[in-house]
């Protein structure tokens, strides 16, 4: 099986460290591979399959849309663009939306907004504050904003105009920007995903919002991974009661159909003028229907409260089951919010992705030592228990190996 899969992609570029698994179909939080083996899915296509697999409300809606029109292009109005934009505006407290297809595109649009915001104010060399361990994508601009040297290696020269600071450190932010009239924006993920599930603290979020107001900077919050209900609120920064000026979205927005968006508040909504930005696929009828239906189903089925409840339960079970390892330091921390959970070990644990798949559970490992759990928002309490029941023995066994 392994040999077959490894030998079966001689023409696809070798850009991913793949497991020897090919998924065939899914139902809810359960997926099956082409050999019929079943897995509990705690990864959801990396925080994408918001409604799990083969959702009984989503699938007929998408089938209906595909039979009508998949793509039309932005020479014409797409009625569901306005519906989805109005909904995102209502949920975010912001005002306008630009649609694209991926997270990096949404971030690329945010970076362009920040630069033009500066140029419109007469700043010729605008600079944007970004963070250690951040991940914003793999285009040249977004990998330059990313705080991971491995992502950047081999792609220099990087785009200039970024100032990098540590997380949750107000003094560092003030010092790094002191007497710098070129700063135009602060850009971060509310909870860093790829960097290892590192949350920005509530007080820090509030203080940065205040600083951006005082200095006339844009507050740009990348909610590509932590947004769309994953933490139990529509957008993770809402736990701090703040509203950003620019918010890139993607991943969970279309429940698996590629949809990206950059949402802007009043200070950023009119920066782009006709001709400043655009994309062929962005906002196409299939993508917009997926976004509209995803939000409708999250609302109808009360999935925000559900995600908060199941996430809290899963964190509690993991914390309880790994109490000894937390006490002896083998497990450094169980952290996160809602259904965005990280379990940080004191040693690299990449081997757990394969071991866990062998045991019937799909997870990922980020930053070498952080197990990431980002299941569909429909995961049940019983399934959360099952995640812990499969995962915790694997963690204990791995930690015992080093002893």
Ligand X SMILES: Cc1ncc(COP(=O)(O)O)c(C=O)c1O
Place of tokens 């993508």: 287
Least separation in angstroms between CB 194 and ligand X: 5
Contact indicator for 236, 227 with CB cutoff of 8 Å: yes
Q: Left, alpha or beta for 197 (phi > 0: left; psi -120 to 50: alpha)? A: left
Q: Residue 60 or residue 166: which is nearer to ligand X going by CB?
A: 166
Q: Residue 94 or residue 141: which is nearer to ligand X going by CB?
A: 141
Q: Which of 302, 260, 294, 295 is nearest to 277 (CA)?
A: 260
Q: Residue 153 or residue 382: which is nearer to ligand X going by CB?
A: 153
Least separation in angstroms between CB 384 and ligand X: 22
Q: Residue 222 or residue 293: which is nearer to ligand X going by CB?
A: 222
CA distances (Å), origin 230, targets 59, 198, 337, 392: 21, 15, 8, 22
Q: Residue 50 or residue 107: which is nearer to ligand X going by CB?
A: 107
Q: Residue 148 or residue 206: which is nearer to ligand X going by CB?
A: 148
Beta bridge partners of 164: 130
By the criterion CB under 6 A, which residues form the site for ligand X?
102-104, 107, 135-137, 189, 193-194, 222, 224-225, 250
Give the CA dihedral 383, 384, 387, 390, nearest 10 degrees: -80
Q: Residue 322 or residue 340: which is nearer to ligand X going by CB?
A: 340
Least separation in angstroms between CB 103 and ligand X: 2
Q: Residue 261 or residue 392: which is nearer to ligand X going by CB?
A: 261
E strand or H helix at 310: helix 303-321
Residue 346 CA to its chain's centroid (Å): 24
Least separation in angstroms between CB 198 and ligand X: 11
For ligand X, the nearest residue by Cβ is 103
Least separation in angstroms between CB 216 and ligand X: 25
E strand or H helix at 304: helix 303-321
Q: Residue 165 or residue 250: which is nearer to ligand X going by CB?
A: 250
Q: Residue 92 or residue 102: which is nearer to ligand X going by CB?
A: 102
CA distances (Å), origin 170, targets 74, 146, 207, 400: 42, 20, 8, 39
Least separation in angstroms between CB 181 and ligand X: 28
Least separation in angstroms between CB 311 and ligand X: 18
Least separation in angstroms between CB 199 and ligand X: 13
DSSP annotation of 253: G
DSSP line for 63-117: HHHHHH-S---TTS--HHHHHHHHHHHHHHT--EEEEESSHHHHHHHHHHHHHHH
Burial status of residue 89 (CB atoms within 10 A of its CB: 0-12, 13-18, 19 or more): middle
Q: Which of 30, 22, 36, 32 is nearest to 52 (CA)?
A: 30
Beta bridge partners of 345: 331
Least separation in angstroms between CB 293 and ligand X: 20
Q: What are phi and psi of 293, to 5 degrees?
A: -70, -35
Residues 351 and 365: their CA atoms lie apart, in Å, by: 9
Least separation in angstroms between CB 254 and ligand X: 11
């Amino acid at each position: 099986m392994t040999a077959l899969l490894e030998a079966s992609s001689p023409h696809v570029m070798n850009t991913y460290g793949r497991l020897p698994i090919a998924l065939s179909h899914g139902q809810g939080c359960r997926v099956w591979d082409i050999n019929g083996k079943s897995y509990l899915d705690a990864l959801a296509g990396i925080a994408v399959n918001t409604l799990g697999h083969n959702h009984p409300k989503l699938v007929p809606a998408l089938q209906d849309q595909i039979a009508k029109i998949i793509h039309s292009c932005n020479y014409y109005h797409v009625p569901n663009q306005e519906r989805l934009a109005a909904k995102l505006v209502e949920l975010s407290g912001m005002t306008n939306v630009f649609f694209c297809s991926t997270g990096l595109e949404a971030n690329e649009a945010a970076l362009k907004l920040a630069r033009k915001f500066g140029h419109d104010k007469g700043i010729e060399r605008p600079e944007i504050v970004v963070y250690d361990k951040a991940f914003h994508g793999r285009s040249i601009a977004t990998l330059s904003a990313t705080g991971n040297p491995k992502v950047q290696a081999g792609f220099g020269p990087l785009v200039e105009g970024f100032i990098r600071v540590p997380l949750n450190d107000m003094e560092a932010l003030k010092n790094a920007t002191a007497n710098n009239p070129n700063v135009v924006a602060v850009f971060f993920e509310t909870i860093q995903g790829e960097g290892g599930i590192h949350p920005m603290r509530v007080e820090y979020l509030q203080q940065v919002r205040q600083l951006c107001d005082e200095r006339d900077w844009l507050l740009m919050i990348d909610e590509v991974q932590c947004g769309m209900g994953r933490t139990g609120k529509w957008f993770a920064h809402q736990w701090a009661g703040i509203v950003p000026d620019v918010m890139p979205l993607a991943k969970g927005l279309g429940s698996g159909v590629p949809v990206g968006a950059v949402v802007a508040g009043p200070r950023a909504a009119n920066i782009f003028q006709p001709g400043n930005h655009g994309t062929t696929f962005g906002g196409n009828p299939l993508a917009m229907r997926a976004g509209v239906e995803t939000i409708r189903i999250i609302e109808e089925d009360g999935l925000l409260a559900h995600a908060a409840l199941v996430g809290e339960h899963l964190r509690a079970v993991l914390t309880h089951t790994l109490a000894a390892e937390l006490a002896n330091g083998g497990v450094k921390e169980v952290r996160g919010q809602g259904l965005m959970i990280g379990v940080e070990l004191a040693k690299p644990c990449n081997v757990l992705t394969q071991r866990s798949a062998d045991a019937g559970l799909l997870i990922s490992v980020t930053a070498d030592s952080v197990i990431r759990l980002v299941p569909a928002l429909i995961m049940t309490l019983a399934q959360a228990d099952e995640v812990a029941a499969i995962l915790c023995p694997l963690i204990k066994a791995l930690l015992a190996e080093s002893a």
